[in-house]
Structure 1
Amino acid sequence: MQIVVPEFMEEDILRTGLTGCDILYDPGLVDRRDALLAVMAGADAVIVRNRTRVDAGMLAAAPRLRVVGRLGVGLDNIDLEACKARGVAVFPASGANDISVAEYVISSAMVLLRGIHAMPSRLAGGDWARGALMNGREICGKTLGLVGFGSIARETAMRALALGMEVIAYDPHLAPEGPHWGLKTGRVRPVGLEALLAGADVLSLHVPLTEGTRHMISAAALARMKPDAIVINAARGGVVDEAALAGALRQNRLAGAALDVFETEPPPPEDCARFQGLANVILTPHIAGLSQESNRRVSEVTVASVRKHLMAEAL
């Protein structure tokens, strides 16, 4: 059986977990689409991150393909309907990077509230700037608003509650009463979206990108937020209207933002230019779910799913 892996993962876990398979591991193959489609002709499985498009073109080039392993949880780059029609199973690494994303959200919130993320370069340049930073804010007592309350949001909520935050959440897919709102260290209060926007000191997004969530954090939504609030998006690019967000930051209608995901990745220069010169923004290249620990967990979960499926089909 042939396994094609066109993006990076923990190679030792890949080769140990799929012993006996013919493995083509080439993390740069994602950038050579024609070459990728050519090798897919003999592939029984493909393991991808978020950049490889598993679409009709790939499926047509891969007549033997039986399973797609996704090194992460977002499925925007995989045509699920086309895979289903072809009988190709898709396995995301659910839960494997929850902790990493939750820690990114909380750490970004703490840094932005204190206003210290730009300080090392300022101080190295001779700017003591103590007066400008002596009124930073504590995270304790602030309200965290979660848009979506899936597994990553719940990990985030537990950490926020442990730090003394109040936590509110909006998730139209969950009943307003139920055990999902109760966590080990406290309780999350379900609210409507309007109440969440108005009440959050820190707004964190935890929803997939769909037609219903695209630009749900729009100029109008941002206008309903407190002027000293912070927005964090480590979910999916496109959920936030980036131009509207940049405008709100420049006009001091928001205190800060952290973006780990973008509508186009990598973002073109004109999109990046929106945030140039802003001292109250953290921009990172889609790495919230990546850490030494989560990279191994994600690889282990994905390899186990692919192996189990191939073995089951072989019986």
Structure 2
Amino acid sequence: MILITEFMDEAWVEWLRGRAEVVYEPDLPDRPDDLSRLAAGARALIVRNRTQVRGPLLETGFSCVGRLGVGLDNIDMDGCASRGIEVFPAVGANTLSVAEYVVTTAAVLRRGAYLMRGAMEAGGWPRGLAGQGREMAGAVLGLIGYGGIAREAARLARAWGMEVVAADPYARDFEGAREATAAEVLAQADVVSLHVPLTDETRHLIDADALAAMKPGAVLVNAARGGVVDEAAVCAALRSGQLGGAALDTFETEPLGPDHPFAGVSNLILTPHIGGVTQEANARVSEMTARRVAEHLGL
């Protein structure tokens, strides 16, 4: 049996059903007892980012995990390796979706006018304020991390006439961007976008000190991992005006819950971890994952 614990393109769920028994219950992360019970009969798991593949779940006997996406911080990779459990992330399948999210949300924040609806509906006509928006052409996009998604974001940004700088101690090259240190990226960029995994090294990489080092009025985009950003520090920087805007797609706690720090903060776009999820990307991610799991199981 293949257990699918989060949403997947229906066509590829059906493709798998034509080859094996499939249990598809996309709300299982909210039902941990049912998740453990169903996993006990599974040959393979297919998950997104909310299913925690660790602890006792690893002892239930499945032989592989298909990851509908690329981040692996919800999967105990060492635990899987020690048990011979293969993990298949959908590398590259949602690259364009995330890259488009980066540049489009940055453009919305820099232009500013798209966030004026409330004032207009209240009877205002904030044309003077809206007219203070900034163009993307000639601005500097700073990328912290320079893997596949960052490179695609750089390509899109260059098409808009932006200059691109990037920092990544592990990058094989910096084609399409000017190499810089992380400190130089923060100091020079009009838009800072994060493209790093969540590790001990990167947790709260963007804290109060990093935000203070950014250009006044710069924009921050995080479609990587929530723990990379100190969320309270971002809110404080937005309130003070040091940060001109922010778009956050990932969070330390997902869903947010009642204790989040974002209420009443302006110039802030919040989206529910969907940077890599469009209809097209979901189909690509689902196809790649379904085929790799089926191949592993000999289906």
TM-score by length of 2: 0.97
**Structure 1 counterpart of 2:195:** 206
Aligned to 2:92: 95
Q: Does 1:298 align with 2:291?
A: no
Q: Separation in 1 of the partners of 2:17 and 2:89?
A: 17
- Aligned counterparts of 1:296 and 1:120: Cα–Cα separation in 2: 33
State the distance in 2 between where 1:109 and 1:299 align. Answer: 28
Residues 97-147 of structure 1: CA deviation (Å, up to 9, x unaligned):
111111111011111001123223332332211111111100000000000
| Residue from 74, 77, 96 that aligns with 1:80 | 77
User: Does the CA contact (< 8 Å) of 2:238 and 2:245 recur in 1?
Assistant: yes
State the alpha-carbon separation in 1 of the partners of residues 258 and 164 from structure 2. 36
Q: Answer yes or no: is 1:14 the counterpart of 2:13.
A: yes
1:158 to 145, 155, 169: 155
Q: Distance in 2 between matches of 1:297 and 1:114?
A: 32
Aligned residues: 299
**Aligned match of 1:137:** 134
1:1-315 matches, within 5 Å, as 2-60=1-59, 62-63=60-61, 65-175=62-172, 180-182=173-175, 187-271=176-260, 274-311=261-298
CA-CA distance at 1:201 after TM superposition: 0.4
Q: CA deviation at 1:18?
A: 5.0
RMSD (CA atoms): 1.2
Distance 1:216 1:30 in 2: 28
Residues 260 and 284, structure 1, Cα contact 8 Å, conserved in 2: yes
Q: Which runs of 5+ in 2 are unaligned?
A: none
Distance 2:223 2:143 in 1: 12
Encode CA deviations 1:51-101: one digit per residue, 9 max, x unaligned: 1111121112x22x1110000000111001111111010000111111111
Residue 249 of structure 1 aligns with an amino acid whose one-letter code is L
Q: Which amino acid aligns with 2:184?
A: A
Task: Return 78-87 or 114-123, whichever deviates more.
Answer: 114-123
Q: Counterpart of 2:231 in structure 1: which amino acid?
A: E
Mapped partners of 2:180, 2:31: distance in 1: 46
Runs of 4+ in 1 over 4 A off after TM superposition: none
Partner of 1:249: helix, strand, or coil?
helix
Counterpart residue identity of residue 47, structure 1: I
Tell me the secondary structure at the aligned position of residue 275 of structure 1: coil
Q: Secondary structure at the match of 1:278?
A: coil
Distance 2:138 2:179 in 1: 18
CA shift, 1:233, in A, is 0.4
Which whole-Å CA distance do the structure 2 matches of 1:92 and 1:18 have between them?
A: 21
Hey, what's the Cα distance between the residues in 1 that align with 2:244 and 2:37?
49
CA distance in 2, matches of 1:18, 1:72: 21
Distance, in Å, in 1 between the alignment partners of 2:225 and 2:211 is: 17
Partner-residue secondary structure (3-state), 2:237: helix
CA distance in 2, matches of 1:160, 1:149: 14
Is the contact between residue 217 and residue 240 of structure 1 (CA under 8 Å) also seen in structure 2?
yes
- Paired-residue identity, %: 53
Shift of 1:3: 0.3
How far did residue 35 of structure 1 move? Answer: 1.1
Structure 2 CA distance for partners of 1:128 and 1:213, relative to 1, 3 Å: same
Contact 1:18 1:307 in 2 (8 A): no
Q: Distance in 2 between matches of 1:24 and 1:276?
A: 38
Whole-Å separation in 2 of the counterparts to 1:279 and 1:218? 19
Consecutive unaligned residues of structure 1, counting only runs of 5 or more, are none
Provide the rounded CA distance (Å) in 1 between the counterparts of 2:83 and 2:18.
26
